[in-house]
């Protein structure tokens, strides 16, 4: 099989990595047989989101309002974000019911945390205990036993601990070799360009290279690389180390929750066969056609949504503007706030290190 390569993620290029994600998504959506984007629903949701934006529910500041996120924008916060996003994948439980005994949960400061928040809680707990988890010298020698301890749970077990160990060791080694032990040096070298930073991440840190093959074309998603940059931007509120003149180039971050909420709102419709697989709780393979179509169509649907939302906001008395990051953060938070209702909409389940 001959694979047409849009570009090689590990090689320097003048092309925007986020543009490659955008082109990949448009290509996937244009040839998808299992997922359909409902254009009429785009306008309906855009009006709803415009109202939420005007009520200040959609802004970069929302990131810092989360209890477990860093409150001080400094070099330590950058390294915290980098460690978190190095292991920011596969937090879904086999059992969704929070009362189920097998759903993994982690206790921190007298609260139980699940999903992504369990990762944040585990890292914060480790730092409270004096474990130097932001230190590259520690990361490069971390082993499975230490990772099991750091991510220990009150009930259930966090999945893919061995893969989290490998990622932490990999990023620790590369930080020592290329960035004097701190990801802040990588950020500084990007010269305020989100795309230069994403390229550096993809070139130097293999565990962030989120790509696949679809219809003989190499397609890109780069979920963790893009959200790493977005988290830094949000933490610093677009200032200091979080200043990126091209931040609006980023797309949404295609995980399993964003496609779920888009399907919940009716922006996407699945074929009868794909819906059956979702209803039957089937496991999907990373890089399979079904999985690629779900993620690619989610990105393209959100591109259309951002365009329509900005059209509405720019025609207001006081013109406003949103980017894909703000949309993604809002939709992801919406899932957390309406979990019981949205749980009725099944999501695609994949075990991989990319999301």
Catalogue the active-site residues.
255
Q: Which segments within the chain are labelled E, that is strand?
A: 35-37, 106-108, 111-113, 211-214, 217-220, 268-270
Q: Are 99 and 86 in contact (CB under 8 A)?
A: no
Is residue 44 within 8 Å of 84, Cβ to Cβ? no
Beta bridge partners of 105: 155
Taking CA atoms, 249 is separated from 45, 54, 177, 207, in Å, by: 22, 23, 29, 22
Query: Distance (Å, rounded) from C-alpha 161 to C-alpha 167?
Result: 10
Helix axes 289-314, 272-279, angle to 10 degrees: 100
Question: In angstroms, rounded to a whole number, what is the distance separating the alpha carbons of residues 37 and 85?
Answer: 29
Cα(222)–Cα(199) distance, rounded to whole angstroms? 10
Pair 281, 346: CB distance under 8 Å: yes
Q: What share of the chain is helix, strand, coil (3-state, %, to 5)?
A: 55, 5, 40
Alpha-carbon Rg for the chain in angstroms: 20
Copy the structure tokens of residue 313.
């906001």
Judge whether 141 and 156 are in contact, CB under 8 Å. no
What is the spatial distance between Cα 341 and Cα 347, in angstroms, rounded to a whole number? 13
CA 327/CA 308 separation, integer angstroms: 12
Q: How many whole angstroms separate alpha carbon 150 and alpha carbon 126?
A: 6
β-bridge partners, 15 = none
CB neighbours of residue 181 within 10 Å = 18
């Amino acid at each position: 099989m001959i694979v047409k390569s849009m570009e090689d993620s590990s090689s320097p290029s003048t092309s925007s990595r986020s543009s490659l994600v955008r082109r990949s998504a448009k290509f996937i959506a244009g040839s998808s047989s299992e997922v359909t984007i409902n254009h009429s629903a785009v306008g309906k949701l855009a009006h709803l989101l415009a109202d939420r934006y005007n009520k200040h529910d959609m802004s970069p500041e929302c990131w810092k309002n989360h209890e477990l996120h860093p409150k001080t924008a400094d070099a330590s916060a950058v390294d915290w974000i980098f460690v978190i996003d190095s292991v920011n994948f596969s937090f879904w439980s086999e059992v969704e019911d929070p009362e189920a005994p097998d759903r993994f949960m982690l206790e921190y400061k007298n609260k139980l945390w699940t999903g992504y928040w369990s990762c944040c809680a585990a890292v914060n707990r480790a730092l409270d205990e004096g474990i130097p988890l932001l230190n590259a010298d520690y990361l490069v020698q971390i082993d499975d036993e230490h990772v099991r301890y750091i991510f220990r749970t009150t009930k259930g077990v966090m999945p893919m601990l061995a893969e989290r160990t490998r990622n932490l060791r990999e990023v620790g080694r590369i930080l020592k070799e290329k960035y004097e032990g701190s990801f802040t040096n990588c950020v500084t070298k990007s010269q305020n360009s989100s795309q230069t930073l994403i390229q550096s991440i993809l070139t130097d840190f293999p565990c962030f290279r989120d790509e696949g093959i679809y219809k003989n074309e190499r397609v890109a998603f780069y979920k963790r690389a893009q959200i790493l940059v977005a988290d830094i931007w949000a933490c610093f509120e677009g200032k200091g180390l979080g200043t990126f003149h091209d931040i609006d180039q980023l797309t949404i971050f295609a995980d399993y929750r964003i496609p779920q909420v888009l399907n919940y709102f009716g922006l996407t419709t699945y074929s009868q066969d794909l819906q059956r697989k979702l209803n039957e709780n089937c496991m999907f393979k990373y890089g399979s056609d079904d999985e690629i179509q779900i993620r690619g169509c989610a990105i393209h649907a959100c591109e259309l949504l951002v365009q329509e939302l900005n059209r509405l906001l720019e025609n207001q008395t006081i013109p406003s503007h949103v980017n894909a990051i703000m949309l993604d953060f809002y939709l992801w938070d919406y899932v957390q706030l309406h979990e019981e209702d949205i749980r009725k909409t099944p999501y695609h389940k994949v075990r991989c290190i990319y999301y």
